[in-house]
Structure 1
């Protein structure tokens, strides 16, 4: 079935604080602290149209997802999205 009409309410909520879950000395914290990913915007800017089309995923977010996949051996973008 292409579309579903699931009206089942969510019964539980869980509040999670990522600051408490990820140790301060974690590799990903260090990458985020020491690498400025803004250079990616300049690299990809010529490939984006400013006046038409739908907005895309932030190129920095996409790059970080691919970096995570490389570091943690996650070969699929779908698995990364989970």
Structure 2
């Protein structure tokens, strides 16, 4: 009897995300040469230090907006999808962003 089950995964492959993105890619060069820590000082007056809800990382939010601007992604929903699906963005953002985290950031953009 001929039987096929396309849902079965027979093997695992370990991949380093850093190796998937070329070293000479524009976003990698930007990330290497620009220190984004200045953003924390710029936004510090707008955050309360001792009460309130935990804040979203302003650097992460800025990098997400920067990616959207650089690649002409005008839709916040499309930006969310691109960040989820594109390995390059994951490497540049230096976090594996899950859907809930991204969706919590989008209304702030």
Q: TM-score range by the shorter chain?
A: 0.7 to 0.9
1:34 — aligned with what? 33
Write out the 4+ residue segments of structure 1 that deviate beyond 6 Å after TM superposition: 11-14
* Farther off after superposition, 50-59 or 65-74: 50-59
Superposed CA RMSD in Å reads 2.1
1:54 — aligned with what? 53
How far the C-alpha of 1:16 sits from its partner, in A, is 4.3
Aligned positions of 1:1-80 closer than 5 A: 16-80=15-79
Identify if the C-alpha distance between structure 1 residues 44 and 25 changes in structure 2 by more than 3 Å, giving closer, same or farther. Answer: same
* Structure 1: stretches of 5+ with no match in the other structure: 1-10
Higher RCO (CA < 8 A, seq sep 6+): 2
* Structure 2: stretches of 5+ with no match in the other structure: 1-7, 82-109
| TM-score (ref. length: structure 2) | 0.58
How far the C-alpha of 1:70 sits from its partner, in A, is 0.4
| TM-score (ref. length: structure 1) | 0.75
More helix by share: 2
